[in-house]
Amino acid sequence: MSTLHKGILTLIENDTKKSDYVISSKGEKSMKKTRKAAAVLTAVAMATVSAAPVMADEIKDLYDYELQTREIETWNVLYSQLATDLQVLTNLYDGLLESDEYGKLVPAVAESWETEDNGITWTFHLRQGVKWVDQNGNEKGEVTAQDFLTGLEWVLNFHKNDATNTAMPMEMIQGAEDYYNMTSELDADAGLALTAESPEFADTVGIKAIDDYTLQYTCVSEKPYFDTVATYNCLYPISQAMIDEIGIDGFKAATPENIWYNGAYTCTEYIQQNTKTLTKNPLYWDTDAKLFDSVTVKMVESVDTAYQLYTTGEIDRVDLSESNLTTIYNNESDPLHDQLVEKRPTKFSYQFHFNYDKHNDDQSEDTNWNTAIANEAFRKCWYYGLDLGSYYKRTNAINPYKCYNNAYTMQGLVYLSDGTEYTSLVQEKLGLPAYDGETMTRLDSEKFEEYKAQAIEELTAAGVTFPVHARYFVAGGNQTTLDSANVLKQAFSDSFGDDFIVLDIDSYVSSLSKEVRDPRRQSFVINGWGADYGDPQNYLGQETNDGDNAYYMVAYGHAVDNESEELNALYDEFTELVNKADAITDDLDARYEAYADAEAFLLEHALTIPSNFDIGWELTHINDYTKQNAMFGIQNLKYKNWETSTDAYTAEDYAGFQETWNAGSAE
């Protein structure tokens, strides 16, 4: 990464690249003593003078980790849609609202908010005194309502934002799509010259700064869930003064040194593929918040490397690989045995997403795959016959079927007025047996054999040759993902037989989108989707075939490019069901019932297939039950109000945390 820094720019050598740039607002990177070792020495010293028990302290400087395959791609908060970026960026910026540990919306920059017309017009009342600061925490200005207009103009301006993060505002805010289309027709200079104060924006888009601290949105129709959108970065504020200071190109290629911050932390050090250091914002508006003095995120090659760092006290939590978990779990004398903690579900629901227009490496059409996957009987073989139990063990070797997913939408996103959780309604409509915790309840050997025979007969007549090869890509050089892929390959062999469907594992070097997705080389991907806002539309709208905002269909599915009339008729019907549900705004129970009908249709015809939830095990000094816990948005990633301990938590501790959380959530 090439970047200019006011302080020190140091060139370092490593094994994988010729050079990285070390960027630090503090000069040379300071080496910190291992906190755990220091704590042990302190405890020993105290024990020599007193027999009183030593109570664990809260962590002041947190050490976390990420895999090197998940490096941040942009520091521009308005661009990003990736969890790998937002895990950092949500700590640097605050939007209108955030969530509490129970998933309830609470104030952030907005102190209060309301709608008086069932979700057409939304008014947010901003708190005074929210500061913009630079990397070193120096005040740069105050956050006002106008900054939210500046942020939205940037998102919707074709020449500034490269069509990133446009889907939600274009779907929801009056005039947003019109403004985007208008800017796309301008030449670059004319488009870049526009601002939020330009009449082209001010007279078109449904957003107004009533005064410095009152912000109003007008939606295209009734959007009773729009306040959940207010947690997402497409509506974040940006100061025009910052853009004027660093220039449009400067903000496009934002760096930790040139951006302005209004969040809990600033990024004071960034070493690409190595370390990110976040430092508490000294002027942060939420003076009651519990923040770390610093957060250091270390980039590691694998979870096994992270495990070694955890055992030496260099990081404060670690997700456990199958082998590490099994080793510790099976040895009750292991000092880490009692510290094994089963993680809470994340907000992500994972699915198999088929590519209906697969290309070969020479960009010719893979007619064998495309014909096969367009056949419903062939897809239902996957639905009823693919046993993923061994694959689940890669995430949760102790309770693998906790990872079993049988819906598209994530559990806990929305509830009916009688308390019924939405995905349970989907399961009811599918007629599936109740989850028993020990099997994949959708597996049905009789149905599998029936559909296999049907698929072979129909596809042989259509010229398909068997076995059908399914191509699956993993990141090159990542042993963990390769091991998981090999387990998946064996699951295919065991479930389907090598004469029917064979999984071929391939790898990409650096970019899944550029090397695999865009040239359409994959047969399928297993991707996770976490809701951006609190409504099933944000899940099911990704699979429709009627617009550019259907992410999975546009980026991965390409069903409209498959010549199968039967396949496209199914997607037409599914799209109609989704649009029918989205049109219901005055009765949320009826809305969710209609979405459940659409989701059941999607799964009944195996147009996509649920894969798994991410419920693994960890060793940790962090009480996850104190984190923000919404099943939508990006606030769950924020290092704010976390309860921690310099001593590792135990399973017993976590049982108590869960009990306390359950009691609080019921209030």
Q: How confident is the model at residue 578 (pLDDT cuts 50, 70, 90)?
A: very high
Would you tell me the crossing angle of helices 376-385 and 479-496 to the nearest 10 degrees? 110
| Terminal C-alpha separation, the chain | 49
Share of the chain above pLDDT 90, in %: 80
Average of per-residue pLDDT across 233-261: 96
What is the structure's pLDDT at 477?
A: 81
Average of per-residue pLDDT across 439-464: 97
In the three-class reduction of DSSP (H, G, I as helix; E, B as strand; rest coil), residue 603 is classed as helix
The angle at the Cα of 574, spanning 351 to 219, to the nearest 5 degrees, equals 95
- Give the Cα separation of 537 and 518 in Å (integer): 25
What is the structure's pLDDT at 55?
A: 60
What is the structure's pLDDT at 29?
A: 31
Average of per-residue pLDDT across 422-443: 91
Q: Structure tokens of 599?
A: 């989701």
Q: What is the mean pLDDT of the chain?
A: 89
Pairing of strands 468-475, 501-508: parallel
- Give the Cα separation of 523 and 578 in Å (integer): 25
In this structure, what DSSP letter does residue 73 have? -
Average of per-residue pLDDT across 502-528: 94
What is the structure's pLDDT at 282?
A: 98
Q: Residue 558 above 90 pLDDT?
A: yes
- Give the Cα separation of 227 and 248 in Å (integer): 29
Q: Residue 15 above 50 pLDDT?
A: no
- Give the Cα separation of 664 and 667 in Å (integer): 5
Q: Find out whether 649 and 429 touch, Cβ atoms under 8 Å.
A: no
pLDDT in tens, 27-63: 333 333 333 333 333 333 333 333 344 467 999 999 9
Contacts of 23 (CB under 8 A, 6+ apart): 3, 5, 9, 255, 256, 257, 269, 270, 271
Closest CA to 607 of 433, 449, 376, 453: 376
Ramachandran angles phi, psi of 461, nearest 5°: -65, -30
Q: Residue 12 above 50 pLDDT?
A: no
Q: How many CB atoms lie within 10 A of CB 66?
A: 17
What is the structure's pLDDT at 71?
A: 84
What is the structure's pLDDT at 391?
A: 96
Q: Residue 521 above 50 pLDDT?
A: yes
Q: Structure tokens of 551?
A: 């992410």
Average of per-residue pLDDT across 261-278: 96
- Give the Cα separation of 354 and 595 in Å (integer): 22
Closest CA to 632 of 539, 537, 534: 534
Contacts of 597 (CB under 8 A, 6+ apart): 429, 577, 581
Q: Find out whether 344 and 350 touch, Cβ atoms under 8 Å.
A: no
What is the structure's pLDDT at 576?
A: 98
Strands of 320-399, DSSP E: 341-342, 348-354
Q: When comparing pLDDT for 19 and 443, which is higher?
A: 443
Ordered alpha helix ranges (H), 225-346: 226-229, 240-246, 248-252, 303-311, 322-329
Residue type, 313: G
pLDDT in tens, 454-487: 999 999 999 999 999 999 999 888 888 899 999 9
Ramachandran angles phi, psi of 317, nearest 5°: -160, 160
Least confident of 7-21, 38-52, 304-318, 375-389: 7-21
The angle at the Cα of 624, spanning 630 to 632, to the nearest 5 degrees, equals 15
Q: When comparing pLDDT for 532 and 462, which is higher?
A: 462
Residue identified by tokens 């105050």 is 142
Ramachandran angles phi, psi of 632, nearest 5°: -155, 165
What is the structure's pLDDT at 422?
A: 96
Q: Residue 217 above 60 pLDDT?
A: yes
Q: Please give the model's pTM, rounded to 2 decimal places.
A: 0.82
Q: How far is CA 450 from CA 186, 458, 550, in A?
A: 57, 12, 33
What is the structure's pLDDT at 459?
A: 98
Contacts of 365 (CB under 8 A, 6+ apart): 357, 358, 359
Q: How many CB atoms lie within 10 A of CB 581?
A: 23
- Give the Cα separation of 352 and 556 in Å (integer): 11
Q: Residue 326 above 80 pLDDT?
A: yes
Contacts of 480 (CB under 8 A, 6+ apart): 67, 302, 303, 304, 321
- Give the Cα separation of 198 and 182 in Å (integer): 13
Backbone torsion region of residue 34, taken as left when φ is above 0, otherwise alpha when ψ lies between -120 and 50, otherwise beta: beta
Q: How many CB atoms lie within 10 A of CB 392?
A: 24
Q: Find out whether 339 and 619 touch, Cβ atoms under 8 Å.
A: yes
What is the structure's pLDDT at 214?
A: 98
Q: How confident is the model at residue 633 (pLDDT cuts 50, 70, 90)?
A: confident
pLDDT in tens, 606-615: 999 999 999 9
| Sequential DSSP letters for 96-117 | SEEE-TTS-EEESSEEEEEESS
Ramachandran angles phi, psi of 263, nearest 5°: -95, -170
pLDDT in tens, 171-200: 899 999 999 999 999 999 999 999 999 999
pLDDT in tens, 140-166: 999 999 999 999 999 999 999 987 888
pLDDT in tens, 401-429: 999 999 999 999 999 999 999 999 999 99
Average of per-residue pLDDT across 371-387: 98
Q: How confident is the model at residue 667 (pLDDT cuts 50, 70, 90)?
A: confident
Average of per-residue pLDDT across 290-308: 95
